[in-house]
Each structure stands twice: as structure tokens, then as C-alpha cells.
Amino acid sequence: MADKKNEIEWKQFKFDKDGLIPVVVQDYESGEVLMLVYMNKDAVTQTFETGYAHYYSRSKKAVSKFGAALGNTQKVMAAFLDHDNDTLLLKVQQNGKSDPQQINHTCFPQQIVGQYNDIGGEMLGKLQRIITDVKKNPEDGAYTSFLFVRGVDRIGKKVGEEAVELVIAAKNDEKAGVINEAADLLYHTMVLLNAKDIKLSEVCAELCKRNR
């Protein structure tokens, strides 16, 4: 990952008294916070040399590649230091779950305070994973599985139908109808993208190009 333009300048990093720096790990597509871990200098070096996250285990007192045993890896897409240079943020493409023992994609599944619903990128990122999983593991009677079986032509037809229904709903004063039809259009569009092996990040990258 590292090249001459992105060589690590160690003077930038402020490690604590134990030689560690906390690392916030975030899904680069959805923005979900996946975990809080630690790196020492060796872990930082291996991470940027290989392009895959390596972390320091405070209990084992050793550095290891994340998910090396199970192939549950994290490819580093971008990295940032905070303004004090004492915390690292990694945006990663995660292959699998944060913790192989959990059913969750993130190590923060337990909400204990507040009212929060997944919105924006987080929700769409989760929906993308659900659709991908159904594609890999079809379920009898599941609508998404039915769409994949019928193929791109059927999925594309549904996208067209939902687009028309959204336009019709928009001509009325009822906000709920527009929301429902927009949700249908987004869902079927995401199924179509998945059928063509296109990720949301690719679409977002195209949008970014147009906004420059």
C-alpha cells in the first residue's frame, strides 16, 4: 500500500507510553464503525506495507493480521490521523464479520442509550450485504431470491415499474406514498446493481466525479 508518495513519517504518530496508538476501524462503504483496536509501530508498518490491517493484541502481546486464520480480512482503503496525531482512522473493505464468533458485521451491536435508526450510507451498506448474502445463499420463498432467479430482465422491469410509480406518487400530496415508492425503487435498483456485480461505492465514485 505504501509508496514513495505515502511513506510513513513516524514523527507524525504519537504513540502512548506503552508504544500503542488507538485505531478506529470503519467500513469504507457504509460508514459503520466496526471496532476499536490498537497498533504498535510494527503493526502500523505491516498494515501499510501489505495493505491489510494488522493489529496489536494487548492480551497476547503480539501483532497479527486481522482474520488471518479464517480469511476474514480487512483491506485498507484509506487511513487518517486525527488532529493530535494520536488516533488512527482506517476505512476498510471487510471480508466477513468483525468478530467471527458474532453474527454482527460490527463489534458494536448493542445500543444502550438513545433512539437511533440506521440511515443513509449505513442502512444502504447493510442492505447491500443482505442482498449479497441472499444471492449467495438463496432462500425458498424469498422475494429477493425470486428476482435473482428470474434474472436481469425481470429485475430491470421492476426498476422501471417502480420508477414510474414513484413519479405518479410524487404528483400527489401524500408524502408517505412518495416515501414508499422511493424505497421500492431503491431496493430494486440495489438488487439490479448486485445482479451486475456493481457495488454502491462504484456508483458513489461516479457521482463524486460529476460533482468536481
What integer pLDDT is reported at residue 212 of this predicted model?
Answer: 64
DSSP sequence for 28-57: TTT--EEEEEEE-HHHHHHHHHHSB-EEEE
Q: Are strands 62-65 and 88-94 parallel, antiparallel or unpaired?
A: unpaired
pLDDT along the chain (212 residues), means of 10: 54 90 90 92 94 95 88 90 94 70 63 65 83 92 95 97 97 94 96 95 86 67
User: Exposed, middle or buried by CB within 10 Å (0-12, 13-18, 19+), for 191?
Assistant: buried
pLDDT given for residue 66 in this prediction: 92
Cβ–Cβ under 8 Å, residues 90 and 24:
yes
Domain spanning 4-94: CATH 3.10.20.810: yes
- Strand 54-57 and strand 62-65: the pairing is antiparallel
CA-to-CA distance for 37 and 22, rounded, in angstroms?
A: 6
Q: What's the confidence (pLDDT) of residue 71?
A: 72
Q: Where are the domains of the chain?
A: 4-94, 120-210
The cell for 2 is 505504501
Among 3.40.50.300, 3.40.1360.10, 1.10.287.1080, 2.60.210.10, name the CATH number for the domain at 120-210. 1.10.287.1080
pLDDT at 4: 43
Question: The whole model's pTM is what?
Answer: 0.68
